[in-house]
Structure 1
Amino acid sequence: MKRRFTEHDVPDQSGSTVVITGANTGLGYETARALSVRGARVLIACRSQQKAEDAIKRIEEQNGAVDISYVPLDLGDLSSVRQCAEQLQSEKRIDVLINNAGIMVPPYELTKDGFESQFGVNHLGPFALTGLLLEKLAKTPSSRVVNTSSIAHNVGRINFKDINAERRYSASARYSMSKLANLLFSYELQRRLEAASLPVLSVACHPGIASTELDRYMPFVLSKGTELLQPLLNTAAAGAWPTLCAATSGDVVGGGYYGPAYRFETAGPAKKVRSNRASRDTAVAERLWTLSVELTGVNPSI
């Protein structure tokens, strides 16, 4: 990239339509705000209509009339994912799908479809939504899929032998696994898009360490530590810069990964970064893709 990227570098988005999952709070909210201010039609896909409407109201109060709407989506329920994708088919176009929503280190629980919640919500739900919208995205030249990973991917591994943590559950290990899955999916998707000559880019990003609501499940001691480190962390608005970069920058390349430039990728403006070796293991990526198709029943048309 020619320069490091912040919200001020977001180009005019007039005429574009962007779907953002989990955009009622945190990074997703800041992404929705920034893109709507630049003229994009923004669709907030999340579980709570009330929270989405509250987010839209806050954005409108700050910036005046913008084009933002709510679309129901529960990533932990594949029937909801299908309904969301079906509703989105009525849009004239979709330029960018931002898979932003996620959960972090919750107590052990299963999704409605019986998957360990972090793997289900953070990976399988976005995999299914992307697959169901891929044909729609391909109708818009230069469209993009943006998957939000984390620096936690560095310690992740895909536990194929215990995919739903039925033998042992470590919340942090399963979070790292889901974030590694996001990158494996992003890179495999790009390889398949290129092989099929489809005009869609698959891009990944991470926010560094940002002040969001994701840490609500953290133990009290870790939460207090996060509070003490607050001056060193990205705000939610700054944490959204890599997402905005991945979604809008003209310098972005398919299969690229974008994160903060400062303090070992924990804060600052966005730049192109490099993920770990495990995330670029093509054999594991293909195995994860096959498993994801099997578990979700969604086979992307590439």
Structure 2
Amino acid sequence: MKHEPRTWSLAEMPDLAGRTAVVTGPTSGLGTATARELARAGARVVLAGRSPEKLQATASDITAAVPGADLERLVVDLASLASVRTAAGAAARLGPIDLLVNNAGVMATRARRTEDGLDLQMATNHFGHFLLTGLLWPQLVAEGGGRVVSVSSFMHTRARSAPSTTRARHRAATPAGASTRRRSSPTCSSPTSCSAAPRPRALR
């Protein structure tokens, strides 16, 4: 059955006064627009990104568009599991969280492993968010109504087949910085649901 997307407008956004929303990747594009409109609706918005300078610049831009916007900043590098853990610890000061928007992501990166031995794109787009969501879970369920929104793309619809062990081995053997002719950007519901993704040691 073909899914027909529902039309939605900002006018339908409810009053979010008294709510806390965390938005990752808020310094450009959809992340900035999401953070700005949540702030316009009255939410306390936590801008979660890896660059303090960009977070400050984004906060200034949002405040210019929404005077009196209630904004906070949280430094986190989703490609680093250690950074995610540190950020989650710092987020304890926020109290209950009503909304977590997992928006940050990278695309078509050159073959590269993170400090945790993970593929950079998978770590940033999936594993980092998976860990962040789990660590913030007690705050998300604290008042019974927390929501998690994970943003993805339609690029997975262009894949001709599922990731294979052979491709995973080939990519692992590709020297850092070398480009590859074919790339796969699967969207997974958990860190172990894609066969091409190495199981992260820190998430075991």
Deviation at 1:75, TM superposition (A): 0.6
Equivalent pair of 2:122/2:197 in contact (CA under 8 Å): no
**Aligned with 1:154 (options 153, 157, 162):** 157
Equivalence for 1:140: 143
Separation in structure 2 between the aligned mates of residue 105 and residue 118 of structure 1, nearest angstrom: 8
Note if 1:295 corresponds to 2:178: no
Alignment partner of 1:70: what SS? strand
Separation in structure 1 between the aligned mates of residue 144 and residue 194 of structure 2, nearest angstrom: 25
Trace 1:112-261 onto structure 2 (pairs within 5 A): 112-156=115-159, 157-160=162-165, 162=168, 165-167=171-173, 170=180, 173-174=183-184, 176-177=185-186, 180-181=187-188, 184-185=189-190
Equivalence for 2:113: 110
Separation in structure 1 between the aligned mates of residue 91 and residue 133 of structure 2, nearest angstrom: 12
Equivalent pair of 1:111/1:117 in contact (CA under 8 Å): yes
Separation in structure 2 between the aligned mates of residue 30 and residue 91 of structure 1, nearest angstrom: 22
Greater helix share, structure number: 1
Equivalence for 1:7: 10
Note if 1:99 corresponds to 2:102: yes
Note if 1:23 corresponds to 2:26: yes
TM-score (norm 2): 0.84
Shift in CA distance, 154/28, structure 1 to aligned 2, threshold 3 Å? same
Separation in structure 1 between the aligned mates of residue 87 and residue 66 of structure 2, nearest angstrom: 27
Unaligned runs of 5+ residues in structure 1 are 186-284
Deviation at 1:138, TM superposition (A): 1.4
Equivalent pair of 1:72/1:84 in contact (CA under 8 Å): yes
Encode CA deviations 1:19-78: one digit per residue, 9 max, x unaligned: 111101111010000000100011011010110110110111122111111101001111
Shift in CA distance, 107/35, structure 1 to aligned 2, threshold 3 Å? same
Give the 4+ runs in structure 1 shifted more than 6 A.
Answer: 289-293
Encode CA deviations 1:167-222: one digit per residue, 9 max, x unaligned: 45647633x22xx22xx34xxxxxxxxxxxxxxxxxxxxxxxxxxxxxxxxxxxxx
Alignment partner of 2:61: what SS? helix
Alignment partner of 2:155: what SS? helix
Say how many residue pairs are matched: 194
Equivalent pair of 2:59/2:71 in contact (CA under 8 Å): yes
Trace 1:62-101 onto structure 2 (pairs within 5 A): 62-101=65-104
Deviation at 1:10, TM superposition (A): 1.1
Separation in structure 2 between the aligned mates of residue 95 and residue 81 of structure 1, nearest angstrom: 19
Higher mean C-alpha displacement, 162-171 vs 15-24: 162-171
TM-score (norm 1): 0.58
Deviation at 1:90, TM superposition (A): 1.7
Shift in CA distance, 26/164, structure 1 to aligned 2, threshold 3 Å? farther
Shift in CA distance, 67/292, structure 1 to aligned 2, threshold 3 Å? farther
Separation in structure 2 between the aligned mates of residue 125 and residue 20 of structure 1, nearest angstrom: 14
Separation in structure 2 between the aligned mates of residue 24 and residue 10 of structure 1, nearest angstrom: 22
RMSD between aligned residues: 2.7
Equivalence for 1:53: 56
Alignment partner of 1:90: what SS? helix
